[in-house]
A and B are shown apart, each in its own frame.
Chain A
């Protein structure tokens, strides 16, 4: 149970970072933290107490394995996260070239 709570704490930490930080790079780090919290949660849903790795072989019985599907899915989610982060960092670099700052209170020409 405690792992799930820690996972939630990590997610909230990421969201706090996105909402409260003023530096663009810190916001990107916040996105990554929140993303990893979700990935971790997804992995945990497939975990079993003292489960063994999900490799099928004829001589071992297949009781008490961890669920392999979330691991495959999280692998995909990590790759997507990587692409998003790369794009975000690229945009942040361009913003720094144009505005000369990473502070979002100074990059506020659009009103929303």
Chain B
């Protein structure tokens, strides 16, 4: 038991140590950032898969930082939802690091890219694994500050402008979160999430929890780019270098936004029917507005960024529904979206790497010159628009079935409509960029280098086999455990506190 829970702090310590070493030595030794970066990401990926196994053996694991006794000291908790998120984050991070080995050659300071990247990964892992309210805020800020710097990484006009906008809006979001934490602390006199849930259950909910819910909804909604708070995303995500766009769209908005929302609303405060309908409304609004804005875009990465807003809407709709099937669908869609959206952004990076443009009207017939990029992009496009054998279809299907079962036919209609519009907009991408006549000036472009192809191929493979996660036997280990954590609601407190003693 003691040895098993010692794995928990490693998820934060290893990326931070990697970032430190790379920043210390990376400038002097030429290939070191690549080698160290890939190996750190590989270790994290392996550890996160191990955490799924450990959870199935030991059940919930807790770790107290600095050996302070737990409801008082800072606690870290590994449960089903945590290990689910850890696998998502570290798997995608590994693929993206492999991709960056070639892609980031264009920039001068590769070592500072890896340093910031691992700071961000460490922050996200920390947000997911911590069981302490204030610690969540600190780690969230580590990840967020690293991501502002990464958006501005190219120091171009547009990148700086986007980074400034993103930084200001996200900082305001963080302030709301801090205010919410201050109010919760003054009401419950504790910061441990489990203890807090316990005390909130005893004291009952009142105006203060309502106020706190609104603050958290604004704060984490800004981080997750739900529709009224989405204005920064379509600027920030396309401006960053492609691996960072993939990381931001694929994982960051989920780890900082969706995960934190779920954890606090389900496990700490407890989901009220009002909150659930607000979440469902915001989800549907994001879904429809995102896709409507996406369909008219001609900049490839901007189009993908708007689709991120739309797909996040599906996740929030599923999770906000609160039924077992809805939560399962939402979490499954979260995993699938991080796979196919990072693949799409990596493809757009490969296209930009070879042709030097992001404008769809200047492309055409790229599949004949770039077979790997073309094929993987076709796979990802089909999965995001929900074509049967691919993973996106299964998760959307589950969400829509869950919504219909709950009797919310209006929401189901919008979900189907948004899916059709997604299909239309990706048909446009495929038609203009990858199919059709090859243009004169593009006739001598080359396929992306080896590591970029490898990483895109791996993600495309995940898109194809992603549906297998629903098979009985696999589903119980991975998805069902994460769903159970959300379903247990404020029982979470009892379970975690039992784990402490």
Chain A complexes with chain B: yes
Interface pair A94/B175, CB less than 8 Å apart: no
Rounded to whole angstroms, the CA-CA distance of A84 and B145 in the bound complex is 6
Residues in A neighbouring B145, C-beta threshold 8 A: 80, 83-84, 87
C-alpha gap A6/B126 in the complex (Å): 35
For B56, the chain A residues whose CB sits under 8 A away are none
Q: From DSSP, what is the main secondary structure of chain A's interface residues? A: helix
How far is A11 from B148 in the complex, measured between Cα atoms in Å? 23
How far is it, in angstroms, between the C-alpha of A74 and the C-alpha of B404 when the chains are bound? Answer: 47
List the B side residues contacting A27 at CB < 8 Å.
168
- B141 touching A84 by the CB < 8 A rule? yes
Kindly list chain A residues whose C-beta atoms are within 8 Å of the C-beta of B158: 109-110
Complex CA–CA separation, A38 to B141 (angstroms): 15
Provide the residues of chain B in CB contact with A66, threshold 8 Å: none
| Residues in B whose Cβ lies below 8 Å from that of A38 | 175, 178-179, 182
Pair A109/B182 contact, Cβ less than 8 Å = no
Which one, B79-87, B149-157, B366-374, B458-466, is touching chain A?
Answer: B149-157
Are the C-beta atoms of A73 and B134 separated by less than 8 Å? yes
Tell me the bound Cα distance from A42 to B156 in angstroms: 38
The residue on B at minimum CB distance from A77 is B178
Q: Would A31 and B172 count as touching, CB distance under 8 A?
A: yes
State the 8 A-B residue pairs at the shortest beta-carbon distance, nearest first. A45-B186, A42-B182, A110-B235, A80-B141, A98-B157, A112-B231, A95-B160, A91-B164
Residues of B within 8 A of A98 (CB): 156-157, 160
Q: How large is the interface on A (under 10, 10 to 19, 20 to 34, 35 or more residues)?
A: 20 to 34
The interface of chain B, by Cβ under 8 A from chain A, is 134, 137-138, 141, 145, 148-149, 152, 155-158, 160-165, 167-168, 171-172, 175, 178-179, 182-183, 185-186, 191, 231-232, 234-235, 239
Proximity string of chain A (14-38) to chain B, C-beta cutoff 8 Å, 1 when within and 0 when not: 0100100000100100010011001
Flag if A91 contacts B167 (CB, 8 Å). yes
20 A-B contacts (beta carbon < 8 Å): A11-B179, A15-B172, A31-B168, A31-B171, A41-B179, A45-B183, A76-B138, A77-B137, A83-B141, A84-B148, A87-B167, A88-B164, A88-B171, A91-B160, A94-B155, A94-B160, A95-B160, A95-B161, A108-B161, A110-B235
Query: Which partner residue on chain A sits nearest B172 by CB separation?
Result: A18
Cα distance A87–B162 when bound, in Å? 14
A87-112 residues at the B interface, CB under 8 angstroms: 87-88, 91-92, 94-95, 98-99, 107-110, 112
- In the bound complex, what is the Cα–Cα distance between A49 and B134 (angstroms)? 25
Once the chains bind, are B164 and A95 in contact (CB under 8 Å)? yes
How far, in Å, is B290 (CB) from chain A's closest CB? 13
> What is the bound-complex CA distance between A112 and B183, given in angstroms?
33
Interface of B is mostly: helix
Given A31-B171, A91-B160, 10 more pairs with CB closer than 8 A: A34-B172, A45-B185, A73-B134, A76-B134, A87-B149, A91-B167, A94-B152, A108-B161, A112-B165, A112-B234
Decide: A87 and B148 in contact? CB cutoff 8 A. yes
Of B138, B149, B162, B186, the residue contacting A110 (CB under 8 A) is B162
Contact A35 B175 (CB under 8 A): yes
Asked if residues A34 and B175 are in contact (CB atoms below 8 Å), the reply is yes
Residues in A with CB closer than 8 Å to B179 are 11, 38, 41
Taking CB atoms, residues of chain A closer than 8 Å to B160 are 91, 94-95, 98
B157 close to A109 (CB less than 8 A) = yes
- A43: nearest residue on chain B (CB-CB)? B182
Which residue of chain B lies nearest to A19 when distances are taken between CB atoms in the complex? B172
Residue of B nearest to A92 (CB): B164
Residues of chain B with a CB closer than 8 A to A87's CB = 145, 148-149, 167
**Chain B residue at minimum C-beta to C-beta distance from A30:** B168
CB distance from B86 to the nearest CB of A (A): 24
Chain A neighbourhood of B182, CB < 8 A:
38, 41-42, 45, 70
Query: B190 — nearest CB in chain A belongs to which residue?
Result: A69
Residues of A within 8 A of B137 (CB): 77
Report the separation of the CA atoms of residues A38 and B145 in the bound assembly, to the nearest whole angstrom: 19
Task: Report A-chain residues with C-beta under 8 Å of the C-beta of B191.
Answer: 69
| Beta-carbon nearest neighbor of A35 in chain B | B175
User: Taking the nearest CB of chain A, how far is it from the CB of B174, in angstroms?
Assistant: 8
What CA separation (Å) do A45 and B184 show in the bound complex? 10
Q: Tell me the residues in window 45-103 of chain A with beta carbons closer than 8 Å to chain B beta carbons.
A: 45-46, 69-70, 73, 76-77, 80, 83-84, 87-88, 91-92, 94-95, 98-99
Shortest beta-carbon distance from A96 to chain B in Å: 10
Kindly provide the distance from the CB of B113 to the nearest chain A CB, expressed in whole angstroms: 16
B426 to chain A, nearest CB (A): 22
A87 to B152, CA, bound (A): 10
Pairwise interchain contact A91-B178, C-beta atoms closer than 8 A: no
Query: How far apart sit A46 and B157, CA to CA, in the bound complex (Å)?
Result: 45
Residues of chain A within 8 A (CB-CB) of B138 are 76, 80
How far, in Å, is A82 (CB) from chain B's closest CB?
11
What are the residues of chain A within 8 A of B157 when measuring CB–CB? 98-99, 109
Cβ of A102 to closest chain B Cβ, rounded Å: 11
Which of chain A's residues have a CB closer than 8 A to the CB of B168?
18, 27, 31, 88
Q: How far is the CA of A42 from the CA of B134 in the complex (A)?
A: 12
Contacting residues, chain A, for B167 (C-beta < 8 A): 84, 87-88, 91
The residue on B at minimum CB distance from A95 is: B160
Complex-state Cα separation, A45 to B180, whole angstroms: 12
